[in-house]
Structure 1
Amino acid sequence: MSKSWSRRNFMMSASVAAIGWAAATGLAAATNASARLWKGKRVTLLHFTDTHAQLETHPEYLPGANPEIQMMGGYARLKTAIERERASCDGACFLADGGDDFQGSGPATWSEGEAVLDPLKALGLDVFVPGNWEPAYGPERFKRTMASLNCPVVCYNFHDIASGARLFPPSVTLERDGVKVAFVGITDISASKRHPPAEYQGMDTARMEGLRDFVKQLRAREQPDLVVAVTHTGISISRQIARETPEIDVILSGHTHERTMRPILEGKTIIVEPGCFGSFLARLDVYLDEGGVARHDYRLIPVLEGRYDEDPAVKALVDKSLAPYRERMSRPLGRTETLLMRYDVLETTADDLITDAIRKAAKADIGFSNGFRFGPPVPPNTLTEADLWNFLPMNARMKTGWITGKELRLYLENELEQVFSRDPWRLSGGWGPRASGMAIAFNALAERGRRVVSVKVDGREVEDERRYTIAGCVRGGEPVDVICRHSGTHDAQELPFTVHEAIREYLEAQPVIALRRSGREKALDLPPMVFSQDAILSSRDLAAAPTTPFGLPPG
Structure 2
Amino acid sequence: MSEIIHLYHTNDVHSHFENWPRIAHFLQKRKNLHQETGEDTLLLDIGDHVDRWHPYTEGTLGKGNVCLLNDSGYQYVTIGNNEGITLPYEALSSLYDQATFKVLVANLYNENRIRPDWAHPYFIHTTNHGTKIALIGITAYFQKFYVTLGWHLNEPFDELKKQLQDIHNQADLVVVLSHLGIHDDERMAAEFPEVDVILGAHTHHVLHQGRMIGNTLLCGAGKYGQFVGHVEVKLDAKKRIINKAARLYDTNELEEAPNEEQWIESLNNAGRLELEEEVVTLTESIENNWFQPSPLSKLLCESLKEWTTADCAILNAGLLLEALPKGPVTKGDIHRICPHPINPCVIELNGAELKEILLQSRDVEWPHILLKGLGFRGKIMGIMVYEGIDFVKNEDGLIKKVMINGNELHSDQKYKLAIPDMFTFGRFFPQIQRTEAKEYFMPEFLRDLLGWKLVKNNLGQ
* TM range, smaller chain: 0.5 to 0.7
Match of 1:148 among 66, 73, 98: 98
- Cα distance in 1 for partners of 2:339, 2:59 equals 13
2:200 corresponds to which residue? Answer: 253
1:99 corresponds to which residue? Answer: 47
Query: With structure 1 as the length reference, what TM-score do the two structures score?
Result: 0.54
Equivalent residues of 2:229, 2:247 under 8 A apart = yes
Letter in 2 for 1:44: H
Match of 2:67 among 101, 118, 124: 118
- Rg (Cα) greater in structure: 2
Match of 1:171 among 100, 118, 122: 122
Deviations 1:290-335 (A, max 9, x none): 483322222211112x632225699769836842516979xxx999
- Cα distance in 2 for partners of 1:288, 1:495 equals 49
**What SS class does the counterpart of residue 80 from structure 1 fall into?**
helix
Q: CA deviation at 1:181?
A: 1.5
1:206 aligns with 2:155: yes
**What SS class does the counterpart of residue 103 from structure 2 fall into?**
coil
Deviations 1:51-79 (A, max 9, x none): 22222x1xxxxxxxxxxxxxxx1x21110
- Cα distance in 2 for partners of 1:96, 1:138 equals 25
The alpha-carbon distance between structure 1 residues 396 and 214, as it changes in their structure 2 partners (threshold 3 A), is closer
Letter in 1 for 2:220: E
Equivalent residues of 1:388, 1:500 under 8 A apart = no
Q: CA deviation at 1:183?
A: 0.6
1:277 corresponds to which residue? Answer: 224
Equivalent residues of 1:400, 1:495 under 8 A apart = no
> Which blocks of at least 5 consecutive residues in structure 2 are unaligned?
277-285, 303-311, 322-331, 358-371, 385-397, 403-408, 423-431, 455-461
The alpha-carbon distance between structure 1 residues 386 and 131, as it changes in their structure 2 partners (threshold 3 A), is farther
Aligned residues: percent identity? 18
- Cα distance in 2 for partners of 1:495, 1:218 equals 40
- Cα distance in 1 for partners of 2:30, 2:71 equals 16
The alpha-carbon distance between structure 1 residues 470 and 299, as it changes in their structure 2 partners (threshold 3 A), is same
1:536 corresponds to which residue? Answer: none
Alignment of 1:42-191 (within 5 A): 42-55=4-17, 57=18, 73=19, 75-89=20-34, 90=37, 91-104=39-52, 105-135=54-84, 136-165=86-115, 167=117, 168-178=119-129, 179-190=131-142
The alpha-carbon distance between structure 1 residues 260 and 274, as it changes in their structure 2 partners (threshold 3 A), is same
1:268 corresponds to which residue? Answer: 215
Letter in 1 for 2:225: G
1:302 corresponds to which residue? Answer: 250
- Cα distance in 2 for partners of 1:303, 1:386 equals 31
1:40 aligns with 2:25: no
Alignment of 1:477-516 (within 5 A): 488=437
Letter in 1 for 2:127: R
Letter in 1 for 2:176: A
- Cα distance in 1 for partners of 2:83, 2:245 equals 31
- Cα distance in 2 for partners of 1:227, 1:487 equals 38
2:393 corresponds to which residue? Answer: none
> Which blocks of at least 5 consecutive residues in structure 1 are unaligned?
1-38, 58-72, 337-348, 376-384, 411-428, 439-457, 476-482, 505-555
Q: CA deviation at 1:406?
A: 3.8
- Cα distance in 1 for partners of 2:89, 2:274 equals 30
- Cα distance in 2 for partners of 1:227, 1:79 equals 26
**What SS class does the counterpart of residue 133 from structure 1 fall into?**
helix
1:218 corresponds to which residue? Answer: 167
- Cα distance in 1 for partners of 2:313, 2:268 equals 42
Aligned Cα RMSD in Å?
Answer: 5.2
Alignment of 1:514-553 (within 5 A): none
Deviations 1:203-256 (A, max 9, x none): 334364253353244141x2x221100011111112212222111100001112
The alpha-carbon distance between structure 1 residues 51 and 318, as it changes in their structure 2 partners (threshold 3 A), is farther
Letter in 1 for 2:30: E
Query: With structure 2 as the length reference, what TM-score do the two structures score?
Result: 0.63
Q: CA deviation at 1:360?
A: 9.5
- Cα distance in 1 for partners of 2:132, 2:416 equals 58
The alpha-carbon distance between structure 1 residues 217 and 115, as it changes in their structure 2 partners (threshold 3 A), is closer
- Cα distance in 2 for partners of 1:387, 1:258 equals 32
Equivalent residues of 1:155, 1:169 under 8 A apart = yes
Deviations 1:361-411 (A, max 9, x none): 64989536999xxx9xxxxxxxxx79975973447668798754446879x
1:21 corresponds to which residue? Answer: none
**What SS class does the counterpart of residue 143 from structure 1 fall into?**
helix
- Cα distance in 2 for partners of 1:138, 1:495 equals 11
Q: CA deviation at 1:82?
A: 1.1
Equivalent residues of 2:7, 2:230 under 8 A apart = yes
2:180 corresponds to which residue? Answer: 233
The alpha-carbon distance between structure 1 residues 43 and 318, as it changes in their structure 2 partners (threshold 3 A), is farther
Q: CA deviation at 1:150?
A: 0.2
**What SS class does the counterpart of residue 247 from structure 1 fall into?**
coil
Equivalent residues of 2:138, 2:156 under 8 A apart = no
Equivalent residues of 1:129, 1:154 under 8 A apart = yes
- Cα distance in 2 for partners of 1:243, 1:370 equals 42
The alpha-carbon distance between structure 1 residues 435 and 399, as it changes in their structure 2 partners (threshold 3 A), is farther
